[in-house]
Amino acid sequence: MPFLGRAFLPSEGQAGNDHVVILSNALWRERFGSDPNVIGKDLKINGEACRIVGVMPARESMTLSVPQLWTPLVFSPEDLSHSARGNHYINLVLGRLKPGATVEQAQAQMDSIARRLAQSYPKTNKDWGVTVLTLQEYKIRSADVRNGVLLLVTVVGLVLLIACANIAGLLLARGAGRAHELGVRSAVGASRARLLWQMLAENLLISTAGGGLGVLASIWGIQLLRAGFNFNEYGRQQAAGFRMDQPTLLFALAISLLTTLAFGLAPAIRASNVKQRRRAERKRPDRRELWAQPLAQRARDRGSCPGVGSSDRSRRAHA
């Protein structure tokens, strides 16, 4: 609805009463300098004077095009005649669903209407139907960006997986390096649950910091993208849809928490298991022992060789 003036009246949808116009917010600001007294003034359109009756608020365009003004849709008697039924030049109608209604219910009603029209007018309405789409789905299909969006989401998911795997490896190495610290904490009475919670809290802090940096980088990227679209009013209105909204922030928060649980839980569990690490260290021989065993074996071999030689010589002497 217009925020200045009024909407079209039913009588203005008839021929002869349609010389009225509603301005877009952008046209009102650029052409009329945001004049609040613009209502009632005349604007020439196609050489005919039209009275300004309203100004629309600033908002995102509902279609891929950005309209600058609106005039009533008037059908001539020829357009409403039976011979004009085959003119299918209106291929897009925008509307609102009734509160509580779904797209599936609207599609079922439109299918029923299309079947009745096809039965009543088979020459002009056979094989013609109606497809009900949400505005978001319509924009995706019109711009043919579904494959590009899916590819972008896949690439982002793979990059996130690689980064999380690398961070998980770093956390494992960090937990191994803190074995002495965790052992001291366990010796002075810290339970495994407390150690586990400490490691998870540290991992959550790291993931939250990474998510916050990602959000800041996204905000800066959006600003740069908007600056690139600031070449005319059409570009500015298209760039108005580039924003960081609440669902995006919630998604970033959820991804940070999920990555902490998925890739930080295993390193935290392994690092907090101090008793198992101690048993493994007791079973594992010392490196000095591993070096000493071959040396002792070689010494025994060398010590036994002279004994064998002297025995052989004594036998030869007795013989």
Q: CA-CA distance, 199 to 265, in Å (whole number)?
A: 9
Residue entry with tokens 């022992």:
289
pLDDT over threshold 70, residue 294: no
Q: Are 38 and 55 in contact (CB under 8 A)?
A: yes
Q: CA-CA distance, 81 to 77, in Å (whole number)?
A: 6
pLDDT at 292 (0 to 100) = 47
pLDDT at 51 (0 to 100) = 93
CA distances to 11, 39, 76, 270, 286 from 14, in Å: 6, 21, 8, 78, 98
DSSP string, 248-298: HHHHHHHHHHHHHHHHHHHHHHHHH-HHHHHHHHHHSPPHHHHHHHHHHHH
pTM across the whole model: 0.50
Look at 50-54, 75-79, 100-104 and tell me which has the smallest mean pLDDT. Answer: 75-79
Cross-strand pairs, 51: 20, 42
pLDDT over threshold 80, residue 158: yes
pLDDT over threshold 90, residue 108: yes
Distance, C-alpha 232 to centroid of its chain: 28
Q: What is the pLDDT of residues 15-55, one digit of tens each?
A: 888 899 999 888 898 889 889 899 999 999 888 899 999 99
Domain-by-domain residue ranges, the chain? 1-77, 103-144, 145-283
pLDDT over threshold 70, residue 234: no
pLDDT at 103 (0 to 100) = 92
Q: How confident is the model at residue 278 (pLDDT cuts 50, 70, 90)?
A: low
